[in-house]
Structure 1
Amino acid sequence: MEPDQAQPVTIWAVSDGRAGIENQVLGLAEAVARLIPATITVKRIRYDAAFDRWPTALKLWPDRMLSPDSDRVEAPYPDIWLAAGRATLPFSLRMKKRSDGKTLVIQLQDPKSNLSAFDLVIAPEHDEVHGKNVLSLLGSTNRITAEKLAAEALAWRGRLSELRHPRIAVLIGGKSKTHDLTPERARAMAADIRQSVGSGSLLLTLSRRTPDDARSVFHEILGDLPGLIHNGHGENPYFAFLDAADHILVTEDSVNMAAEAAVTGKPVYRLAMDRLRGEGKFARFHDALERRGIVRPFNGRLDTWTYAALNETARAAAKVVEVFSAKRQGKSSLSSPPHDNGEVASK
C-alpha cells in the first residue's frame, strides 16, 4: 500500500482558510503523513470581493480573480491535492489538466460538480453523494488524535488539572442557514447545563457564530460555576477541553464539532437548537451517530457509556494512500465503490 518513492510525497491542503474547512483538509493531510513520508503545504484560496460570490461555473479565469491576500496556485504542483470548500472548486476542477494528470486530485465534501473531475471524492454520508470514486464518511475529517489532545492540553494543565470531576465540556455553535440560538433557547439550554454540572466543573467554548444576546445569557447563568468560559479571545483551549472532559455537550448545528467529540470515545450529547429549515442532512447525521451509540439527546442528565471511538479520518487517509499508490503504479483502485472499506508549512 505504501508508494515506492525516494522523496517525501508533497501534499497541498487547500481551503478558503476558515478554521472549520481548513481543519478538515489539514487533518486528512496529517493523517496521510502518518502513513507515508510527506510534506504538507497549506494553501488558502480567497477571491476578490467582486468575484467571491460568483458561482463556480462563471469563475473561468480563477487565477485572475484571486484577492491579493490569496495564495497562488502555480507549478510545480503537488503529488496530492486535498481540497475542501466552494472556493477551491475552480482550481480542483482544473488540476488534472494543469498537472498533466500527475497530481492526485481529492475533493472533500459534496463538490456538486462532475465527479469524474476528481480522483477521489470524500463526502459525508448525510450528503448522499454516490459514485465509484466516492468514499462516504460518518461526519467529517479532522485533526483530532489522542496524541494531539494530550499535547495541546499541556499549556492548560495548570488551569484545568485542579477542576473537580465530572468536567463537562460544552461546545456552542450559533446561527447558520439551518439553525439559530435565540436568547430563550440559550436560557433553557444554560439552565439544563447548570443542573448537569452539579458539583463538577464547566468547560464552555463559544463560537464566533454565537449571537451576542445568547452569549450574554450563558455568562449570566453559568458564569459563576467552577471552570472556564472561552469567548474566542486569546489562546484557544478547544483541544484541551476535549482532553479534560468527562462528558461533551455539542450543539446540533455543527457536524465538525460532533465528529471531533466522537473521536475521543467519551459520552457525547446533542444540544437541540432552534431550526430554521427542515431537518435534512443534520438529522441524518445525528441519527447515524445515535445508531452507533455515540451521541444521545441531552435532557439535563448525564450518564456514562462506551463506544468505539470514531476514526473516520484514519479510514479516509488509508484510502488516499491506496488510491495514490495505484495511480503511481498506473492502476485503478476504484473499480468498486470505496465505501467498504509531517511537516506543515503555510504559504
Structure 2
Amino acid sequence: MASSDSEPLTIWVVSDGRAGIEVQPLGLAEAIARRRPARIILKRIGWKGAIGRLPWGLIPFPRALLRSPAEIAPPWPDLWIAAGRATLPLSTRMRAWSAGAAFVVQTQDPQTPPRAFDLVIPPRHDQLEGANVFPITGSPNRVTPGRLSDDLARFASLIAPLPHPRVAVLVGGKSRAFDLSTTRAAAIADQVAGAVEAAGGSIMLTYSRRTPADAKETMTARLRDVPGTIWDGAGENPYFAFLAGADVLLATEDSVNIATEAASTGKPLYILAMEGGSPKFARFHRDLEDQGISRRFNGDLETWSYPPLAETDRAADEILRRLDAHRATP
C-alpha cells in the first residue's frame, strides 16, 4: 500500500539495469528526494529465457515471467519511475495492480499511447505530445553541484596539476545512428590535439562502453603526448570529476545523456561530429544550440556562459505537482 502524506515517499526506480537507461529514472528519483523525504529502491528487472525479445505488448502475465517475480510485488510504491522497453509490460499495468495508488512515470518515448501512464517524460526531440506528457531537453541525469564538487575532490591529485584550459573530451561510440571509425577517431584526436596545444592547456579524456576498441586505440595513440590524462578503463571512471574540473567540454554527438550531463555544468560545450546521424539527434543538437549551450567544434577553443541545464529538477517539480494533484483527487 502506498504511504500516507505524512510518511516519506517510497520511490521504485525500474529499469533493466543498463547504466545509460537506469541513470534517467534514478536521477529523477534523487531530485525528488532532494525536495521531499523519500526512500529510493532500485528494481533491476530481467525476463526469463527469450521472453524479453518479444514485442513488449505480447508478454502476458509479466510478473510471472520475470527472472525474479518477487522483485515486483506489493506493497506498491508511491512513485514508480521507469525507463526502457523492458519495463513497459510492467509500467503499463502498474496503475491497475496498485488500484491507482502508485503514480506511474515513464521516461523516454514509450512508443505507446501516453494514456497508459500517469506522466511521460520524453526528450523534446522525440516530439511526443499529450496532456500527461512533459517534454524536456535531453534526458534526466544525476549531475548536481554537490556530486561534481565531491568527485573533483576525490580526483584532485589527478586533475589539480593539469594546466588550463583543461579540456574534457567525452567520447561515446557506435550506436544505431552513429559510428566512430578509426579514420574519424584520428581526425577528432588530431583536431583536439591541435586546439589544446595551441591554447597551452591539457586534456581529460574518458571513453564510454560503446567506444570501439580500434577507435579508442587510435585516439589514445594520437593524444598520448598531449598534456593531460586519459582514462584507460582501469579503476573508477573520473567522468564526473572531469566535468567538474574542465574549463571547456567536448562531447561526441552520439549520446544524449553525455551532452545533457555536460550541459548541466553551464560550461562551454563543443560537439564533435561523427559518422551517421538521424533527424532526432539533429533536433536535439539544434535545441542545445538555440539555447546557447553548444557549438560545433571547428578546432577553436572559445568560452561562453549559459545557465546550467536543469531539466531533471524541472521534471522532478512537475512530478511532485502532478502527484499532489493525483492524491487530492477523490
Give the TM-score taking structure 1 as reference length.
0.91
- 8 Å CA contact retained: 1:15, 1:84: yes
- 8 Å CA contact retained: 1:144, 1:263: yes
Residue in 2 aligned with 1:306? 305
Instruction: Report how far residue 114 of structure 1 moved.
Output: 2.4
The count of aligned residue pairs is 326
CA distance in 2, matches of 1:231, 1:175: 18
Instruction: Report how far residue 163 of structure 1 moved.
Output: 0.8
Q: Are 2:292 and 1:293 equivalent residues in the alignment?
A: yes
Q: SS at the partner of 1:216?
A: helix
Instruction: Report how far residue 201 of structure 1 moved.
Output: 1.1
Residue in 2 aligned with 1:251? 252
Residue in 1 aligned with 2:121? 122
Structure 1 residues 53-87: Cα deviation after superposition (integer angstroms, max 9, x where no partner): 1111111122232235x871111110000000001
Q: Are 2:194 and 1:195 equivalent residues in the alignment?
A: yes
The residue type equivalent to 1:127 in the other structure is D
Residue in 2 aligned with 1:20? 20
- 8 Å CA contact retained: 1:93, 1:117: yes
Q: SS at the partner of 2:135?
A: strand
Residue in 2 aligned with 1:42? 42
Is there any run of 5+ residues in structure 1 with no aligned partner, and where?
332-347
Residue in 1 aligned with 2:86? 87
| Compared CA separation, residues 36 and 166, structure 1 to 2 (3 A) | same
CA distance in 2, matches of 1:213, 1:48: 34
CA distance in 1, matches of 2:128, 2:266: 27
Structure 1 runs, 4 residues or longer, greater than 2 Å off: 63-68
Residue in 1 aligned with 2:239? 238
The residue type equivalent to 2:39 in the other structure is T
Residue in 2 aligned with 1:345? none
Residue in 2 aligned with 1:215? 216
Residue in 1 aligned with 2:270? 269
> After alignment, is 212-221 or 226-235 more displaced?
226-235
Query: RCO (CA 8 Å, sep 6+): is it higher in 1 or 2?
Result: 1
| Compared CA separation, residues 71 and 282, structure 1 to 2 (3 A) | farther
Residue in 2 aligned with 1:225? 226
CA distance in 2, matches of 1:263, 1:4: 34
Structure 1 residues 170-219: Cα deviation after superposition (integer angstroms, max 9, x where no partner): 00000011000000000100000101111211100011111111111111
CA distance in 1, matches of 2:144, 2:272: 24
Is there any run of 5+ residues in structure 2 with no aligned partner, and where?
none
Q: How does 1:76-225 map to 2 (within 5 A)?
A: 76-198=75-197, 199-225=200-226
The residue type equivalent to 1:251 in the other structure is T
CA distance in 1, matches of 2:53, 2:111: 16
- 8 Å CA contact retained: 1:13, 1:81: yes
- 8 Å CA contact retained: 1:11, 1:80: yes
Residue in 1 aligned with 2:64? 64
Equivalent pairs: percent with the same residue? 51
The residue type equivalent to 1:97 in the other structure is A
- 8 Å CA contact retained: 1:16, 1:85: yes
CA distance in 2, matches of 1:243, 1:18: 24
CA distance in 1, matches of 2:94, 2:56: 14
Instruction: Report how far residue 4 of structure 1 moved.
Output: 7.9
Residue in 2 aligned with 1:336? none
Instruction: Report how far residue 225 of structure 1 moved.
Output: 2.1
Residue in 1 aligned with 2:326? 327
